[in-house]
Amino acid sequence: MQPIRIQAVYMLWLREMKRTWRAKSRIIGSLMMPLFFLLFMGTGFRRASLPNMPAGVDYLTFLVPGVIGMTLLFSSVFGGMQVLWDKEFGFLKEIMVTPVSRLSIVLGRMAGGSTVALVQALLILILSMWRGFRVAGPGGLAVGFGFMVLTSFTFIGLGLAFASRLKDMHGFQIIMNFVVFPLFFLSGALYPVQGLPSVLKPLVYLDPLTYGVDGIRGALVGASAFPIGLDFAVLAGMCAGMVVLGAWLFEGSDVGQ
């Protein structure tokens, strides 16, 4: 097994940063849906009294961590799916024939995709403060950022796993409709998970985004459905498993052939 090449990881990360910076429309477009939720749902339901809402927390405050989680989910999965674009245009084949381990390529992909996702999530957090959202404190912000990192890497791994199995971009809509959207709606991003039917509870507990959103909400707002330590432990375990799965499927795939 070839060793990890830090320079290769850095170069792939830098390529993703440059590509994102040059395509500013991509950043703006990726922020439209989260802003839609903040402006319309956050404002329209701000004074609404929903069942199982944490005491003293209005809907906008409850919603912001969920929108941050949504941003991380969609951006991270898209980041993993960039592998398919590179395959279509031949870039992936070119880097596969270099004397660099596939693990280095995977780590570079994950670093670049997670950085883009985190930047977008932090922009949403800053814009939400303009709408009146307030962070519990500097310590909460640091813990919340840790949950953002774990959430991002979890779904980068998921995106790589999908990209390793797909042959082209035509299957992406299927993934969005049958995998990504259910993960989002079952996570408690838009409403408390305690109010969901009991038949859906097992799916809620198996959803990594549930613990990401709840951990971010607990850190930034001070209100969470589960103990924040439990959120961290479960999400860290799921993150490690998803990253290993994505890397293993990518290394064993024929995307560079």
The whole-number pLDDT of residue 256 equals 46
Residue 75 falls inside a structural domain:
yes
Report the domain count for the chain.
Answer: 1
Residue 226 falls inside a structural domain:
yes
Secondary structure of the chain as H, E, C letters: CCCCCHHHHHHHHHHHHHHHHHCHHHHHHHHHHHHHHHHHHHHHCCCCCCCCCCCCCCHHHHHHHHHHHHHHHHHHHHHHHHHHHHHHCCHHHHHHCCCCCHHHHHHHHHHHHHHHHHHHHHHHHHHHHHCCCCCCCHHHHHHHHHHHHHHHHHHHHHHHHHHHHCCCHHHHHHHHHHHHHHHHHCCCCCCCHHHCCHHHHHHHHHCHHHHHHHHHHHHHCCCCCCCHHHHHHHHHHHHHHHHHHHHHHHHCCCCCC
23 token code pair: 């395509």
The whole-number pLDDT of residue 198 equals 86
Residue 83 falls inside a structural domain:
yes
| pTM of the predicted model as reported, rounded to 2 decimal places | 0.88
User: Sign of the C-alpha dihedral, residues 122, 123, 129, 133?
Assistant: negative
Residue 133 falls inside a structural domain:
yes
The whole-number pLDDT of residue 60 equals 86
Location of structure tokens 């996570």: 187
**What is the C-alpha separation between 14 and 18, in angstroms, rounded?**
6
Mind listing the pLDDT tens digit for each residue in 146-168?
Answer: 999 999 999 988 888 887 777 76
Residue 1 falls inside a structural domain:
no
- Residue pair 164/246 in contact by the 8 Å Cβ criterion: yes
Location of structure tokens 């780590």: 107
Residue 256 falls inside a structural domain:
no
Identify the domain containing residue 191 by its residue range.
6-251
Residue 207 falls inside a structural domain:
yes
pLDDT along the chain (257 residues), means of 10: 72 83 72 81 70 79 92 85 71 69 79 89 89 82 94 90 74 76 90 85 93 94 90 95 82 57
